Amino acid sequence: MRLRFAPEGWLLIIPFVVLAAVALLVQWTVAAIVFGLIAAFLLNFFRDPVRRGSERHVDVLSPADGTVVQIKDVPDGSVWPGLTRQVSIFMSVFDVHVNRAPISGRIIHYRYNPGKKLAAMVEKSSTENEQNLIVVQDSRGAVVAFKQIAGLLARRIVFDKKEGDEVVRGDRIGMIKFGSRVDIFFPPAAQILVQNRDKVKVGLTVIAEIAE
């Protein structure tokens, strides 16, 4: 695994590194420690490890780091026609916050919804919070949707793609800055391979299999 950092983070990281260095030069030890700890936290938050997960076309990779907090059935059409199973992943401030494509295919739908800033652990944040909905269809016609959902601390959702773009399983598609949540939606025949409280890794953990 090769470690790199999300470019969105440097505008926050560099000032605190500079402040820590200046504080050390003027022997302001307490300030240097504080600024150094903030810089270390931001470096950890904006890390963007390169991972190579399964390349089997039936496997759906996790689009986010975090903890599985909910697995449930949803009404057909409530998110996208034919998708009735939901897996929700909570991303704490200590998780990687870069999001990656769960399958290879074409983005057939993208929608941004402004909304509230409820805590991401709360179930109704899935429908009421600020969020992006992304629907991807693979070459076999299989469809998976996922939501980037802002949480209580999240200040910005970043989405690097647009409707009509082709993505490859594990491609970076954006990130959510600070605590947040990602919901993934599957067809009813999908085999969910995770359980509540499981820890998952973006671009590495296989969340589900979609049958041929």
Which residues have a catalytic role annotated?
A: 180
Tell me how far apart the alpha carbons of residues 67 and 159 are, in angstroms, rounded to a whole number. 21
Gyration radius of the chain over CA positions: 18
Tell me how far apart the alpha carbons of residues 173 and 102 are, in angstroms, rounded to a whole number. 10
Pairing mode of beta strands 172-177, 199-200? unpaired
Tell me how far apart the alpha carbons of residues 101 and 112 are, in angstroms, rounded to a whole number. 17
E-strand stretches of the chain: 59-61, 66-73, 85-91, 98-100, 105-113, 131-137, 143-150, 156-159, 166-167, 172-177, 180-186, 191-192, 199-200, 206-209
